[in-house]
A and B are shown apart, each in its own frame.
Chain A
Amino acid sequence: MWVPVIAAAVGCYLLKLAGLSVPPRLLAHPAVRRVAAALPIALLTALIVIQTVTTGHRVTFDARAAGLAAAVIAVLLRAPFLVVVGVAALTAALARLLA
Chain B
Amino acid sequence: MSVARAKLPRMTDDQKSARRAIVRDAVGIGVATGAYGLSFGAISVASGLTTAQTCALSLLLFSGGSQFALVGVLGAGGSGIAAAGTAVLLGTRNALYGIRLAPILRVHGPRRAVAAQLVIDETTAMAVGRDDGPAGRLGFWATGVSVFALWNLGTVLGAVGARTLSDPRVLGLDAAVPAAFLALLAPRMRGRRPWVIALTATAVALVAVPYTPAGVPVLLAATAAALLALRTPADARPPAAGAGGYPATGTARTDRETG
Contact = CB atoms under 8 A, between A and B. Distances in A.
Interface stretch (B14-22, B130-138, B155-163, B173-181): B173-181
B83 A92 contact: no
A33 B186 CA distance: 19
Interface in A6-44: 6-9, 11-13, 15-21, 24, 27-28, 30-31, 33-44
Contact of B175 (A31, A35, A57, A91): A91
A94 B172 CA distance: 8
* Most interface-central of A39, A56, A72 (chain B CB within 10 A): A39
A48 B185 contact: yes
Contacts of B56: 5-6, 9
B219 to A, nearest CB: 9
Nearest to B248: A81
A34 to B, nearest CB: 4
The range of chain B's interface size is 35 or more
B230 interface: yes
B61 A89 contact: no
A11 B83 CA distance: 12
Contacts of B107: 20
* Most interface-central of A1, A42, A70, A78 (chain B CB within 10 A): A42
Interface stretch (B3-11, B108-116, B145-153): B108-116
B1 interface: no
Given A4-B83, A34-B234, A44 B76 contact: no
Contact of B119 (A3, A19, A28, A89): A19
A58 B210 CA distance: 6
Given A45-B201, A90-B172, A33 B96 contact: yes
Interface residues of A, number: 78
A71 B182 contact: yes
Given A20-B102, A24-B102, A41-B198, A30 B221 contact: no
Contact of B229 (A4, A15, A37, A89): A37
A67 B181 contact: no
Contact of A4 (B81, B239, B250): B81
Given A12-B91, A27-B99, A57-B210, A43 B80 contact: no
B225 to A, nearest CB: 3
The 9 closest A-B pairs by CB, nearest first: A19-B98, A67-B175, A42-B225, A80-B250, A88-B179, A92-B172, A92-B175, A93-B172, A89-B172
Given A4-B84, A16-B119, A35-B230, 15 more contacts: A4-B70, A7-B88, A8-B61, A8-B66, A8-B91, A9-B61, A13-B117, A19-B94, A36-B92, A38-B225, A41-B189, A45-B221, A79-B250, A81-B249, A82-B32
25 contacts: A1-B80, A4-B83, A12-B88, A13-B116, A15-B94, A16-B91, A19-B96, A19-B98, A20-B112, A21-B98, A34-B234, A35-B230, A38-B229, A39-B90, A42-B222, A46-B218, A47-B68, A50-B209, A51-B177, A67-B178, A82-B32, A84-B246, A85-B179, A85-B180, A88-B182
